[in-house]
A and B are shown apart, each in its own frame.
Chain A
């Protein structure tokens, strides 16, 4: 009953946009660097877009956008539940979700429940439970006619799009191998302040806690993993085997995440791929993707080498803006894009890689989706003032992957 009602109410809004006159009224949830960037990109992408409400865990994070877009005080919300208050505003028809990824599943589910179109930053979860919440909510979004676009901007970058079309049309033949990398230096750190609570500090320093960022394989490398999934037409890898560790970046201010991962994904047909990511200052950079087929290979972003050699020579747009242009156009055309499942699946791949590295065990995607009980979704009543010891850095042999039973122990169930 309830679902049917929602479908009807959802169906009305795309029609209204189809007139071309209606405003896209946007609430921003998560007003840090990425949220602010996305808000400006969104406004610059299309006419008739306004930022009309803001939410963040911390009051001091609201200032920039509040000033930039002249948002009224009573439309600025603070605290871990601020997103609920923002999404309760009826005049908002779209939200930008850019809080730490650990919060994304409940926030995305709430946005869809409230009938908002969504632009959400990647990754969209940090655990299989969260990824499944996102997949379910995006199915609901389809039913309700809501647009969902994720911040995996390569999917909206012309040279990628044009190259991928050709790969899908067989320009390099059948895919037999692939590689992707996000190897780079470090990122910012938010040092702990005197008197700061555990949860407050961890959220401000969220990159370095698995429950918040998903670790850097999830937080950054998901971009490249997503490109490889895209090359495989979003058919998902069947299994994973990974290693990783925290070798150089060991100071406690870096929380409990690793500083490097090496992952092998096996796609259907036993196509095995290389995937590495590293955050160690002063090491060799490499952020790229490469797919190899029976007739050639491609860098996925403008070059094909082999029988059907080709180079992209067209215009290049800012993909961080383009993703918003595409989302808003799709909404106004009444054919809303929905990338929810796709980004949840790429996120899930990254999570699989991380968990395989933490445990140093190989497992299948089907096991991970259906049997792994890992759930890092924050409790609904989490408070900024809460105590929360930093979870231990994963040590293979000691780390328990919930639900995992080793080969030899399976009989004992």
Chain B
């Protein structure tokens, strides 16, 4: 672990929050000149994190990457080396050795450095505490979706988002459809009534499957879980949360907010029959159990492979959310149905006000960073924290409805639900692995 990370004074305490706010405001003014560099720190150096760093670099010439953090030391180093090797990034990646952080507390160390903007792309389980630490330290944030895996995490992000609002900090989320020109233009028309009153809709993220990662020799069991995070609900939120949130977010966008009520069915029907995955799980089991394969099942992950949910919006419209994985099939799209027509939400409207989008979009994964930086410069920081927390909570609510067999109401989720799946920071630092049983379809609602 780096000992050279204590180079910034502590980041706790109420007095400091005010100072940070001032710093942020000064920051905006500086950006407004257009010449100042935007110092960026990266949290989470997997595939999406590296992608987000490049997207951010491509978004604005003022961006400079100055710090990287990840659970794993080798990820941090290889991410830095990878970025520096690219000719296009010349002179814009300036990561000193004392600005590389790893370990379960790397987000705290990163928040303490002098970056203006933090990009977050670790497994979503930890986003609440990461975001809160960043906002308290006065950082603007770009965060990948989803932003939590449980209800407690969503609420933490809502609180961080509120704090960011007070402090004039930006939060933009990686639900990039919200920044894609074709979606924005189509949604504008839907909101202006082009398809009449919204009475139905469908959204899908159904795909073939996902990687399953074995354990490296030097990993602890908890580290392996984090490495293979997709397969544990407490880490990824399950596929409905991790992937399908994109499409659910589009539905919520159509209706200007989350559903009031969710019903769902679902299960895990084929993952335990996936020979390749099972072999890997058994290998992992042997590694952590002195060569024994007894009880390998828990190493095979606990996520489901399909959830079929009905989202009922406040106006009574019932929309389908269809998500999952299985070999050899795919559908990823959205569709909204109104009394005067329908729309695919991203470039056309059919019906009385038929229309097709003619514009040209730039990569929405870059556009979201352009919009984020522009909003900071203009002194009107975008804050998508509450919104992406609501879309994440919608996905979690659907997962709960399927896992319990009960109808889940939004008010209950917000006000009464006690669900908390993620270990505390102290528990993480203690390094104990965490396994939840696979949901049965009639779990108790908590």
A residues at B contact (CB < 8 Å): 173, 176-177, 179, 183, 241, 243-248, 259-262, 264, 270, 272, 274, 276, 278, 280-284, 286, 290, 292, 294-295, 297, 360-362, 394-398, 406
Contact = CB atoms under 8 A, between A and B. Distances in A.
Contact of A262 (B308, B338, B339): B308
Interface in B294-342: 305-308, 310, 316-318, 320, 322, 324, 326-329, 331, 335, 337-340, 342
A394 to B, nearest CB: 8
A398 B273 contact: yes
A256 to B, nearest CB: 13
A232 to B, nearest CB: 15
A183 B310 CA distance: 13
B318 A274 contact: yes
Interface string B255-283: 00000000111111110011000000000
Contact of B263 (A259, A286, A398): A286
A294 B266 contact: no
Given A272-B335, A280-B405, A295-B339, A245 B268 contact: yes
20 contacts: A179-B310, A183-B265, A243-B306, A243-B307, A243-B322, A244-B265, A245-B305, A246-B267, A247-B269, A260-B265, A260-B267, A272-B320, A272-B335, A274-B310, A276-B308, A283-B404, A283-B406, A284-B407, A294-B339, A397-B327
B199 interface: yes
Contacts of B342: 176, 270
Nearest to A261: B265
A262 B322 contact: yes
B440 interface: yes
B311 to A, nearest CB: 10
Contact of B318 (A290, A294, A295, A398): A290
In this complex, the member of B274, B328, B335 whose beta carbon has the largest number of chain A beta carbons within 10 angstroms is B328
A243 B204 CA distance: 12
A262 B265 CA distance: 7
B239 to A, nearest CB: 12
Given A274-B310, A283-B442, A292 B199 contact: yes
Interface string B14-32: 0000000000000000000
B341 to A, nearest CB: 9
Contacts of A245: 266-269, 305-306
A264 B322 contact: yes
B96 to A, nearest CB: 49
Contact of A282 (B199, B320, B405): B405
A262 B274 CA distance: 22
B441 interface: yes
CB-based closest 7 A-B pairs: A262-B308, A283-B405, A177-B200, A245-B267, A247-B267, A245-B269, A243-B306
Contact of A397 (B265, B328, B405): B328
Contacts of B247: none
Contact of A248 (B308, B326, B442): B442
A274 B329 contact: no
B202 interface: yes
Given A245-B269, A278-B265, A395-B269, A177 B199 contact: yes
A281 B404 CA distance: 11
Given A248-B442, A294-B340, A360 B266 contact: no
Contacts of B206: 243
A241 B202 CA distance: 12
B306 to A, nearest CB: 4
B268 A247 contact: yes
B328 A276 contact: no
A292 to B, nearest CB: 5
B268 A241 contact: no
A176 B339 contact: yes
Contacts of B318: 177, 179, 274, 290, 292
Contact of A176 (B199, B264, B322, B324): B199
Contacts of B307: 243
B410 to A, nearest CB: 16
